[in-house]
Amino acid sequence: YGIPQIIISDNGTSFKNEEVRELCNKFKISHHTASLYYPQANGQAEATNKTLKAILLKTVKENKRDWHLKLYPALWAHRTSIRTPTGATPFSLVFGSEAVLPLEVEIPSLRISLQGILDEDAYREARLSQLESLDEARLDAEQRHRVYADRMCRQYNKKVYERDIYEGDLVL
């Protein structure tokens, strides 16, 4: 995965301390914080947290204190679900192939069975081919995301209408 170039966090004490500062300095990481009174500024993290919270609320029923036991399955579900904006799973955009589902280990799917047939060189070739096409898949996902964002923007703007406000008008 490598070392990040930038970390954006909230203003929590777990991120604003000497240890984190030293770590960022050592690895030349630029640390930024989201606005104190506007956590939405860190939009992607907030959106992911909202999704994970929704998954956890559905899976943690009896004892809410056991949420940490359901966190890894929730993360797995989040990472292996196709996103509408990109048309791909986050997992596939990182690794270049879809995740092997736990069920596929016990009951081998066609994909898993084919891996067993290939010799080491053929498997290496197939995997390298997958990784070479990864950049193209990421570009496709980026393009799909752009089109999706434009469509959402147009949809939102349909509901917005311009109102002229003049001096002396009452406004709420």
- Domains of the chain: which residue ranges? 1-41
**pLDDT by 10s per residue, the chain, length 172:** 688 999 988 888 888 899 999 999 999 999 988 877 776 667 788 888 899 999 999 988 878 888 999 999 999 999 999 999 999 999 999 998 888 887 777 777 766 666 667 788 887 888 888 888 899 999 999 999 999 999 999 999 888 888 889 999 998 7
Measured CA distances, 159 to 90, 94, 141, 155 (Å): 31, 36, 28, 7
